[in-house]
Amino acid sequence: DDDNSSYSSSFSIGENNAVVTTQGIGNAIDMMTIVGHKIGAPKGIACLYIAPNCFTNKKKVLPKHYMLLGGGQEYGKRAGTENVPYIVGLGTAADLLMQQTTLEEGGEVVPQWQKNAKHMYALKSRLYSNLVQALGSDIVRDNGPSSPCHKLPNTLSVGFRNVQSGDLLRNIEMDVACSAGSACHASGGALSAVLVAMDVPLEYARGTLRLSVGPSTTLEEVDEASEIIVGAVRKQLGK
């Protein structure tokens, strides 16, 4: 499901352990968008985190107007009537992720988000392994960081050498929900700026798919998706 996460260019609470204190979320984050539908809330709700003293400490210029002009809602930062049911939905989704649960292996008690992350990372790893085993490591490339500590647990940016992702998507779109490159920057057919910034070789960047799993994704679904993608890649390569 391509709505489960985003890759590289955005950050989702629930995919990483972000702890907010009176000093903010560490020293590296000035602003952060928390998108509701990526953690189980309805589509159409999000919130913006701004680090304490972000503009004064970082010597940034405070915008005269933030987003939308009009009423004085949200302390004048964003005009418009608040969508209270969706706001409640976002808060409830966050609460559910923090509820304690037990891991199936070992019986350790952890927050729900951590159990979700463990499940999704295992499925994402299997998806990549399936593709490599079927097509070969010379055809399949993981575009993400080499260290598992720097990877999102649920999102795989995978490049297929000398494959056109647009054609690939048209062949699988009725069976596998995915996108070409980074979903945030893949419209218009141009090469994704995210992939360019990541120094992905051109022969892999043009054939990149963005695949993601969710907490409810099953092993069978991952294996089925792998077979469909492998078949479409082989067809395009004439194998």
Please give the positions annotated as active site: 184
Residues 6+ apart with CB under 8 A from 110: 100, 101, 102, 103
- Where do we find the tokens 């993601």? 212
Token pair in block for residue 84? 């209270």
